[in-house]
Structure 1
Amino acid sequence: MGKKKLLIKLQEFFDADQREKERRVKDFKRILKKLKEKERGLEEKLKKCTNAEKAVELQQELDIIYAQRKKGVKIIKPKNRS
């Protein structure tokens, strides 16, 4: 196999890796959007809640979702390139 073919194969390999990363970022964004919607729904339930025990459960669930979203954003956030 000549140098040209090897370089082409190598470029195809790196392009596939980049496409996979882009697909994963797209999936993460979709998941983060769903989590945000769920978080807003829980916030509304919490505002309307009169039962103290239920309010504590809702707040715990909200805290978990917030932490998950924060991790997800950290993963997909572009790194500073200096």
Structure 2
Amino acid sequence: MKTKKLLSKIRAFFDSDLRDVQRQTDSLREVLDKLKKKETVLKSRLENEHDPKARKKLEKKISLVHSQRKKGLDLLKSLHLSDSPERE
């Protein structure tokens, strides 16, 4: 293991803020995975739906889930940027 990586691991071990950020990113990834699965299920239901009212409802749900995923991905990116070792 290189020195830089070893120092990064030691810093992560002693830095409680960094551990909190890592926990937050882990839980955020789980939520994003669930939202992605939900979006694919809704899209498959939309393909099989023929009723215009039901299709419109499904399209609204899909756009809502998609926007939630997009916000979550933006948050995840910002957490990764704050998590980088160059933030000192």
Same fold (TM over 0.5): yes
TM-score after normalising by structure 2: 0.73
1:62 aligns with 2:41: no
Aligned length: 69
Q: In terms of Rg, which structure is larger?
A: 1
Alignment of 1:33-48 (within 5 A): 33-48=33-48
Name structure 1 gaps, 5 residues minimum: 1-10
Runs of 4+ in 1 over 4 A off after TM superposition: none
| 1:42 shift after superposition | 0.2
TM-score after normalising by structure 1: 0.78
Give the root-mean-square deviation of aligned CA atoms: 1.8
Counting helix residues as a fraction of each chain, which structure ranks higher?
2
